[in-house]
């Protein structure tokens, strides 16, 4: 049976990380894949659904999960907690589903400590100028927020060397091909092939009669 792979994907805001993940999931892929759903203590925003976008829980419940060591990573962001369930990830992987974990470098470090078999990918913009242009074009933030994101971007980018793979997202289609290549290569690792093709390998190595 195929065992899924956990893919940690990080990038500065505006580099195209979420778009690449969505484009990959929209394809016809050989192995099923999903995005990990985080727990959070913040209230749902308009259009968000419990169990689809986040697991919305109260602070007391979140703290109980921390005490149970239920998260592979968690952090407090703007007075609210966010965390990734270890049990949910492991269950998906055992079902043969590849899991994307969209988190920053700090969360990625926590995850690698608990799940060292995870593969990590860092998405880079082709330039800081282009990164700022993308943030402006998507129209989600005002100028002050964009300036804050840009100020944070270089600090985030400085951690690229902690990742297994780096994709420079200049041409989106080329970047998507690179993401596909990484995921395909992971599925062909010897340890995975030994499980998937156990019977074949046994037959190939059996003594000839």
User: Residue 165: what pLDDT?
Assistant: 98
Residue 144: predicted pLDDT: 86
In the structure encoding, which two tokens stand for residue 160, read together? 């690229």
- What per-residue confidence (pLDDT) applies to 76? 87
Exposed e or buried b for every residue in 126-158, given b needs 16+ CB within 10 A?
Answer: eeeeebbebbeeeeeeeeeebeebbeebeebbe
Predicted pLDDT of residue 209: 58
Please say whether the beta carbons of 15 and 124 come within 8 A: yes
pTM higher than 0.85 for the full model?
A: yes
Q: Which residues pair with 85 in a beta bridge?
A: 71
d(CA 144, CA 42): 23
pLDDT value of residue 130: 94
6-36+97-205, CATH topology level: Rossmann fold (3.40.50)
Q: CA 141 → CA 4, 88, 136, 148, distances in Å?
A: 36, 32, 7, 10
User: What does pLDDT average to in each consecutive run of 10 residues of the chain (209 residues)?
Assistant: 92 93 94 94 91 94 96 88 94 95 92 94 96 86 86 93 97 97 95 92 84
Q: Where are the domains of the chain?
A: 6-36+97-205
């Amino acid at each position: 049976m195929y065992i899924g792979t956990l893919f940690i994907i990080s990038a500065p805001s505006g580099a195209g990380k979420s778009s690449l993940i969505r484009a990959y999931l929209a394809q016809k892929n050989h192995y099923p894949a999903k995005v990990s759903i985080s727990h959070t203590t913040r209230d749902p925003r308009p259009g968000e659904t419990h169990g689809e976008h986040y697991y919305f829980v109260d602070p007391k419940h979140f703290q109980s999960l921390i005490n149970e060591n239920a998260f592979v990573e968690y952090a407090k962001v703007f007075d609210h907690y966010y965390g990734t369930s270890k049990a949910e990830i492991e269950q998906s992987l055992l079902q043969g589903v590849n899991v994307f974990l969209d988190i920053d470098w700090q969360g990625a470090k926590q995850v690698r400590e608990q799940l060292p078999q995870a593969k990590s990918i860092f998405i880079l913009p082709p330039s800081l100028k282009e990164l700022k242009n993308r943030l402006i074009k998507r129209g989600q933030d005002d100028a002050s927020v964009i300036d804050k994101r840009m100020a944070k971007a270089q600090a985030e980018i400085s951690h690229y060397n902690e990742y297994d793979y780096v994709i420079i997202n200049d041409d989106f289609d080329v970047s998507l091909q690179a993401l596909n290549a990484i995921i395909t290569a992971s599925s062909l690792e010897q340890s995975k092939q030994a499980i998937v093709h156990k019977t074949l390998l046994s037959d190939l190595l059996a003594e000839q009669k």
